[in-house]
């Protein structure tokens, strides 16, 4: 009996979600294809019907709220409207939010995996770079007029967001981590000409 319509896409989505959770929890190198498939409730044998390699799968897990519309409600209480005129500051506030900080399992993989990526193959680095550039493009689109170095400024804002979250999560002292997130957020918003200082 044939599978129902949409079955293949549903299975692929389960594998990606399983990998995203495990990569965020344990890192790229520490997660095996067996564990990804087991977490998804599937057998290893089916993996290669959907992906060529773990690196290929990693490229799919790199979606975040600026590239994947399904991320819009990923972090409770955080909304980002990429079509709005103020998408840039929304991205900064969401990325450096307390909700993103607390929800490690559903993190943007760029905050969970940069050290793994640096040691990985060209396919993984290219996937990371592609998503970083997508973030930069979205941030650059909303920079206030008069900024002559749009791409460089957007890259610096993206680096503040990603790096700020990586360093904050590396700290035992929660108060210091929160202060660091807020400092990164305030500087990023100022660089973009957005100057908002909402807390959270």
Q: Are residues 50 and 78 in the same domain?
A: no
Residue 199 within a domain: no
Question: Could you tell me if residue 104 is inside a domain?
Answer: yes
SS3 labels along the chain: CCCCCCHHHHHHHHHHHHHHHHHHHHCCCCCCHHHHHHHCCCCHHHHHHCCCCHHHHHHHHCCCCCCCHHHHHCCCCCCCCCCCCCHHHHHHHHHCCHHHHHCHHHCCHHHHCHHHHHCCCHHHHHHHHHHHHHHHHHHHHCCCCCCCCHHHHHHHHHHHHHHHHHHHHCCCCHHHHHHHHHHHHHHHHHHCCCCCCCCC
The verdict on 86 and 22 lying in the same domain is no
Q: Is there a domain that residue 1 lies in?
A: no
Q: Are residues 141 and 182 in the same domain?
A: yes
Tell me how far apart the alpha carbons of residues 158 and 138 are, in angstroms, rounded to a whole number: 10
Let me know whether 77 and 173 are in one domain. Answer: yes
In this structure, is residue 196 part of a structural domain?
A: no
Residue (of 21, 56, 65, 58) closest to 41 by Cα position: 21
Range of the domain at 133: 69-191
Question: Would you say residue 200 has pLDDT above 80?
Answer: no
- 127 and 187 fall within a common domain: yes
Specify whether 73 is located in the same domain as 172.
yes
Does one domain contain both 146 and 178?
Answer: yes
59-84 pLDDT, tens digit per residue, is: 788 766 666 666 655 688 888 888 88
**Domain identity same for 52 and 79:** no
**Whether residue 95 is found in the same domain as residue 45:** no
Are 27 and 75 within one domain?
no
What is the CATH number for 113?
1.10.357.10
Q: Are 83 and 149 in contact (CB under 8 A)?
A: no
Q: Distance of CA 138 to CAs 74, 109, 158, 170, Å?
A: 19, 18, 10, 27
How many domains does the chain divide into? 2
- 187 and 136 in a common domain: yes
CA atoms of 4 and 52, how far apart (whole Å): 24
Distance separating alpha carbons of residues 102 and 75, to the nearest angstrom: 9
| CATH number where 22 lies | 1.10.10.60
> Which pLDDT value is given to residue 77?
83
Convert the pLDDT of each residue in 94-153 to its tens digit: 999 999 999 888 888 788 766 666 666 777 778 788 889 989 999 998 887 555 688 999
151 Cβ contact partners less than 8 Å away, ≥ 6 residues apart: 136, 140
Residue 163 belongs to a domain = yes
Residues 96 and 186 both lie in one domain: yes
Q: How confident is the model at residue 181 (pLDDT cuts 50, 70, 90)?
A: very high
pLDDT tens for 7-64 read: 788 899 899 889 988 988 888 888 999 999 999 999 888 899 999 988 888 878 876 6
C-alpha R_g of the chain? 18
């Amino acid at each position: 009996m044939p599978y129902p319509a949409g079955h293949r896409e549903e299975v692929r989505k389960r594998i990606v979600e399983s990998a995203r959770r495990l990569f965020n929890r344990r890192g790229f190198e520490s997660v095996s294809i067996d564990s990804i498939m087991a977490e998804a409730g599937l057998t290893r044998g089916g993996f290669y019907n959907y992906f060529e390699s773990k690196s290929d799968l990693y490229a799919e897990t790199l979606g975040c709220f600026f590239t994947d519309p399904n991320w819009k409600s990923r972090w409770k209480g955080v909304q980002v409207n990429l079509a709005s005129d103020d998408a840039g500051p929304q991205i900064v506030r969401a990325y450096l939010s307390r909700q993103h900080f607390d929800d490690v399992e559903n993190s943007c993989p760029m905050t969970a995996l940069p050290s793994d990526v640096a040691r990985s193959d060209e396919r993984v680095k290219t996937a990371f770079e592609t998503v970083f550039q997508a973030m930069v493009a979205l941030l650059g689109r909303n920079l206030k007029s008069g900024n002559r170095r749009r791409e460089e400024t957007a890259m610096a804002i993206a680096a503040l967001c990603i790096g700020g979250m990586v360093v904050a999560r590396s700290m035992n002292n929660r108060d210091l981590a929160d202060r660091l997130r807020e400092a990164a957020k305030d500087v990023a918003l100022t660089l973009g000409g957005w100057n908002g200082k909402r807390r959270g």
